Amino acid sequence: LPAGLSQWFPALEVLDVSGTGLAEIGTELLSLPCLHTLLAKNNRLGGPGSLPKGLGQAPLARSLRVLNLSGNRFAEVPPALLRLRGLRSLSLGGNRLHGIPPEIQELHSLEFLYLGGNFITAIPPELAKLPSLRYLVLCDNKIQSIPPQLAQLHSLRSLSLHNNLLTYLPREILNLVHLEELSLRGNPLVVRFVRDLTYNPPSLQELAGRTVKTRNVPYAPSDLPESLVRYLSLASNCPNPKCGGVYFDSCVRQIKFVDFCGKYRLPLMHYLCSPECSSPFSSASQSSTSQSESDSEDEASVAAHRMQKVLLG
């Protein structure tokens, strides 16, 4: 950036230096007290010294509201950006990011976060601590799962996750009561339903505990060691309405599709007590098919109004 910028334009509010081949932003930027929008897309920023030292302490840290650094060469989110507490919009799409730092939670005013087109593999739970976030774009990455904490983003209106590696969504996503747009196309969960089940056989303790619970064997705290009484209290009911079984540590993960908008079905993770509950040849599975579909429809009727636009194709 040219020297004396603040002297020439002391009241500058918007600065666009996109597509100029810029590899470094100089300290001249720090003395622009009125600058609220900085666009530096499609440059060569990302190396050491790309951003001026002292950025987090300069007046700019308080005035800047919109920062777009998409199409550059950042391999990580610069720590200095996480000190720009007044930011409402941050774009770092099309860079070389492999992760999102937990410190992202410090940007309390952030409403728009664009991180599409990177190499991000995981979403930190701390991202859910952005109370004002309305638009979150994480498309075209390598994300394999969504942390259930993301359901705490109560202000979220749009969530773009297309072209990732997602095979299921956490059930908690139904708590995003204001979500209007959810983009999932290009994920494995859309193009196929994986039925491969991983199931560790129950231990003898679990088999005994299941028997006690399912057959209502009476017992009192004085009959068993305290550790076993505590263990028996941890039983989880199998969600298959025709099963009536319980499980402790050994269960089967399975995807349950829940209808939205009468057209799309979202895959949500739930757990069963054994493979028999999910086997297409088991009597329990066959007898509960209509009930399961009814459950899905009931859930959809409650949540359909929350998802006005679901993009799966």
Would residue 175 count as lying in a domain?
Answer: yes
The pLDDT-based confidence of 8 (bands split at 50, 70, 90) is low
Same domain, 242 and 189: no
Q: Cα(156)–Cα(113) distance, rounded to whole angstroms?
A: 11
Flag whether 284 is in a domain: no
Q: How many CA atoms lie within 13 A of 234 on its CB side?
A: 12
**pLDDT exceeds 90 at position 299:** no
Shared domain check, 220 and 102: no
pLDDT at 169 over 60: yes
Comparing 11-20, 207-216, 272-281, the range with the smallest average pLDDT is 272-281
What's the CATH number where 182 sits? 3.80.10.10
Query: What number of other Cβ atoms are within 10 A of residue 98's Cβ?
Result: 14
Instruction: Tell whether the model's pLDDT for residue 99 goes beyond 50.
Output: yes
- The answer to whether residues 226 and 159 belong to one domain is no
**Mean of the pLDDT values across residues 142-163?**
94
73 phi and psi angles, rounded to 5 deg:
-130, 30
Check if the beta carbon of residue 6 is closer than 8 Å to that of residue 35. Answer: no
Query: What pLDDT was estimated at residue 259?
Result: 64
Write the DSSP string, 159-223. EE--SS----B-GGGGG-TT--EEE-TTSHHHH--------PPPPHHHHHHHHHHHTT----TTT
**108/240 same-domain check:** no
Range 269-304 burial, b when 16+ CB lie within 10 A, else e: bbebbbebbbbeebebbeebeeebeeebeebbeebb
The whole-chain average pLDDT of the chain stands at 81
3-state secondary structure of 276: helix
73 and 208 in a single domain? The answer is: no
Spatial distance between the Cα atoms of 136 and 100, rounded to a whole number of angstroms: 13
Total residues belonging to the chain? 313
- CA dist 45 and 148 (Å) reads 34
Same domain, 128 and 146: yes
Ranges 7-11, 94-98, 268-272, most confident: 94-98
In angstroms, how far is CA 297 from the centroid of its own chain?
25
End-to-end CA distance of the chain: 44
Structure tokens at 138: 């994480």
The answer to whether residue 31 scores a pLDDT higher than 70 is yes
Identify which has the larger pLDDT, 171 or 128: 128
| Judgement on whether residues 17 and 134 belong to the same structural domain of the protein | yes
Same domain, 179 and 104: yes
pLDDT the model gives residue 239: 79
Q: Has residue 116 got a pLDDT over 90?
A: yes
Q: Which residues of 230-255 are buried (b: 16+ CB within 10 A; e: fewer)?
A: ebbeebeebbbebbebbbbeebbebb
pLDDT of residue 311: 54
How many folded domains does the chain comprise? 2
Do 199 and 274 meet the contact criterion of CB atoms below 8 Å apart?
yes
The parent domain of residue 153 ranges over: 5-195
41 within a domain of the structure (yes/no): yes
Task: Report CA 139 to chain centroid distance, whole Å.
Answer: 11
Q: Which residue has the tokens 């638009």?
A: 135
pLDDT of the residue at 306: 44
Residues 6+ apart with CB under 8 A from 22: 1, 40, 43, 44, 45
pLDDT for res 254: 67
Do 20 and 76 lie in one domain? The reply is yes
Find tokens 């054994």 and name the residue.
274
If asked whether residues 86 and 116 sit together in one domain, one would say yes
pLDDT-derived band at 71 (thresholds 50, 70, 90) equals very high
What is the pLDDT confidence band of residue 279, given thresholds at 50, 70 and 90?
Answer: very low
Which of the four pLDDT bands, split at 50, 70 and 90, describes residue 191? Answer: low
Name residue 63's amino acid: S
Residue 285 has pLDDT above 60, yes or no: no
- Among 195, 221, 256, the domain-final residue is 195
C-alpha–C-alpha distance, residues 153 and 83, integer Å: 21
